[in-house]
Structure 1
């Protein structure tokens, strides 16, 4: 009888599905403070802007961190750790310092979600530096390469290695060459295996109240060209499943975002731009073309939008600048130009001299 009851409970637990994710309740922060090789908002072949677009489509605002990680994490209220995904990727010979490592451990232990993207053969010493975080939590990135020997390739198709996921029921995930992973945590789950070697190349585990996922290949998430990257094979589905695994939620809903308009006019109540180089450039260019009557219009708000759930009072015209969790730093192109226009880092940012335009640190997306 006990055996039958156990089997029934096991079947029920296996058949349980995630509840639907509520858009704009979770954010993703991509660390780009360690001379990272590939950028979140890089629109090129090797960039990750398309996965950022997938996140945005499902109501998960994605932003870039340029500060030290301990400073970034300390800016998040600890009660919101479970609503934040921190993404670490391959960096060029830059390790995490002790304060950053401790901050990451505390973040995940308190309920935060960690997504780690690695590379084969300890590229740029990235496995060594990432293992300083992942090993203690229960996953080790090995300094090897899982996949077939591609020395004599004749086309891009030869570069691809096929992988499968029993967990996510996928048979055609394509990676160029991945590091294999070893799991030591009791909670370790195999999420992806290489077809050729059957090595584990993606896995996840729990650590304290939080969760971590590690993927051994960076190229599978590139923008690519359809043959390589996020749009190749089942790669997009795999990425979505990884996010769902971390959240324990189903990404069932897509959200509508306001379209960018080309000018300020009476018919438009706001201007919305996305968190991308082209969006930021448009925003700045539009500001520099404002005529004097608009500069002194006290019904204009310029709003920095880092996260959801903030009500904005109705105004005649809102200019919305989406660049979550970043201060105006002169080391970035857009930051330098905004500061030159008069933006400063104060509680309520003054803007364009004595005009009534302000940047308000509102919390919506």
Structure 2
């Protein structure tokens, strides 16, 4: 009898060890893990900003681009931890720090965002030196009336042509390049947005999609460009959803192997017990289905959702949460499961740090996770610490 009681007492501890020496959240019974930094820079919120993808995995390893005070930093995961790639980083000195990465094969093109500046840098992996080497940097033409750019993203279409989209002043603009080196003047897709709104560009089958928020019209919008068409040949604006304060400047997407896309966004409802986020699923015909989720709770404020998936497998949603009672933050990792009657969002773990300040700005790769590869997500705090977590540990 005493042995049975002892076993019952030890069972919760055994469950915690499976999840990596954590504790259980008293409120939700969700496992909590405290993480140590993998790297430190002299730059707060080094993994910002919301729509950007800063990591990638290929045959040569796992890579991450973070911001720093003297320019962006390329990091590689080594056996001893994450290390700075000094050859590339010297070439990037003084360039803007907020990065979005498009990686394909041995090459990566990275758009770097400054206050009124956009650079695209190309790096190529050298099989001789066993590291990336900086190839070139390009300056995208910026209109003289530019006041500010908040963020930008980059992609490559099926014709191997490159696209960058960004918000500028109260406009959404796109730039085009046939080779990743020579860039066009921008084309304006929307000129009526709020100065707080942002955009995201996503590669789909034989087309690219630009999605943006418009808080003035309370709408999420999309325009489509078919691969091979002229720079200015875009569809008319498509309203994904409008009204009910459903728009905010938080956008992140993943594209499934069947060609469908899932987009996660934050809304501006901001009411207790009302959904704070919306997952928006785009089918192959371009039809959108909007799925509200993550109710706002008293004392807990969720923000900045991102989404990614395992190739033909699990779907993960990650966002930050601020506990307004103790001013502490954590990263909520969730699995999204499609049911016959809708979608289920299941919190798997809460990732915490030992600092008292802000942390968040979760980021991952544009590409889906490979079933047999690492499934890395990253976030950062306002002191310059960068953190990593492998979703594979949740098996």
Q: TM-score scaled to structure 1, two decimals?
A: 0.30
Higher strand share: 2
Determine which structure has more spread, i.e. the larger CA radius of gyration: 1
Structure with greater helix share of residues: 1
TM-score, with normalisation over the residues of structure 2?
0.29
